Structure formats: structure tokens, C-alpha cells
Amino acid sequence: MVATNTDLSIPQLRGIAPGNGSLVAAVTAATGSTPAVAGKPEAALFTTAAKHLGVSRPLVVGDRLDTDILGGNRARMDTALVLTGVDTVRTALAAVAGQRPKYLLADLEGLYEPYPEISHSDGVYRCGASSAMVDDGTVHLTGDLANLDTWRAACSAWWSANPDPATAALPALQSAGSPVLADSAGR
């Protein structure tokens, strides 16, 4: 048995719908057989595509951490998570190392804009007018939570403090000394 991809869901105009991975999981449960995966998130799909296109520094762009970004990372390619589909800034922040993108983009238009620099000094990560630092397992944010630069700084700070977590876990978040609620700027 061979699966083309393992996307559990797909975004549609009316919301999230079951993806091919849901069907793969059902067949796996019914047969007890685990398929070989010919597509995402396996590296071969990405490396073969880059080879056929003749590109030496491809950028893998996707809306899913567990297939698009994981596959690009497995192929040792730069990755960009666009926040127009399945995953959000919060799931990116919580991601395990293999699913962490190099770039966070609001949408595909971000591919045509200069990517902001993220700097760090003394444990503080800055992106634009925003900054983030980790103290005792909490990410302290400064900046507008609706501004993607705040989340870029948060990801850089958290990922640096937690380079290889065993499981995905969203850290506690504070902004201006107050806890950040789960639905605040939850792109």
C-alpha cells in the first residue's frame, strides 16, 4: 500500500474538511498495514521536484507543519509557513523541531516582501518593533499580538530556549505582564 500524502485535513471555503491522511488512517486501521508514503512529508518528493526543476536553493511553502514544513525540513530545504490554512502562529510556536519553519508569512503575498530581520541580544529576540524573551518557561512578549513580527520574535525566543522538544507544547505567554488568552490574535 502506498499513500500519496498524509494530510489529515484540508482548508476549504466552508472550513476544514477531511484530507487524504484521514482516508489513509482509516485504511491503516482496517487492514493493520502501514503504507509507504510517496509524497508529503517524505523528502524524496521535495528533492525530486527540485532536481527536475533545476533549482539549487528551493523554498518549500505550505500551510501545514506536519506535512509541508516537515517534508521541506527533511529534504534540508528552507521552509515558509503561510498562515492561510491549517496551522497558526500558535501551532508554529508549539511545533517540534522537525516541523519548525524558517519563515512565517501571513499569506502568499509575503513571498514578494522583504523578510524582517530577527536579532537577539542577552536572550531578547527582536523583530521590527516587537520583542520576546523566555523566562522560567514563559514567553514574554512586547508588541501588538496582531502583528506577525511579535510571533516571529516569540518563535525565535522559544525555539532557541527549547531546541529539540519531544512533543509539541504551547508555552505560557505573557504580554505587558498579563497572560495572553488562547484566542488573542490566534491566526
The per-residue pLDDT for 178 is: 83
Query: How far is residue 39 from each of residues 23, 49, 128, measured CA to CA in Å?
Result: 15, 11, 37
- Residue 134's nearest CA partner among 110, 102, 99, 159 is 159
Question: How are beta strands 172-175 and 138-142 bridged, if at all?
Answer: parallel
Measure Cα distances from 47 to 40, 69, 100, 101, 182 in Å.
11, 14, 19, 17, 37
Q: What type of residue is 63?
A: D
* pLDDT tens digits for range 147-174: 999 999 999 999 999 999 989 999 999 9
Closest CA to 129 of 144, 140, 114: 144
The sign of the CA dihedral 101, 6, 52, 11 is negative
Please tell me the pTM assigned to this model: 0.86
Region 173-182 average pLDDT? 83
Q: Is the CA virtual torsion 150, 155, 158, 161 positive or negative? A: negative
Q: Which residues contact 62 (CB under 8 A, 6 or more apart)?
A: 68, 69, 72, 79, 80, 81, 82, 85
| Span 73-114, pLDDT tens digits | 999 999 999 999 889 999 999 999 999 999 999 999 999 999
pLDDT above 70 covers a percentage of the chain that reads 97
Q: Which three cell numbers stand for residue 30?
A: 482496517
Q: Which amino acid is at 173?
A: L
pLDDT given for residue 13 in this prediction: 83
For residue 182, the model assigns a pLDDT of 63
Could you tell me which of 38, 47, 158 has the C-alpha nearest to residue 104?
A: 158
Cα–Cα dist 31/33, whole Å: 5
pLDDT tens digits, residue range 2-30? 988 888 888 888 888 898 889 999 999 99
pLDDT at 184 over 80: no
Instruction: State residue 183's pLDDT score.
Output: 55
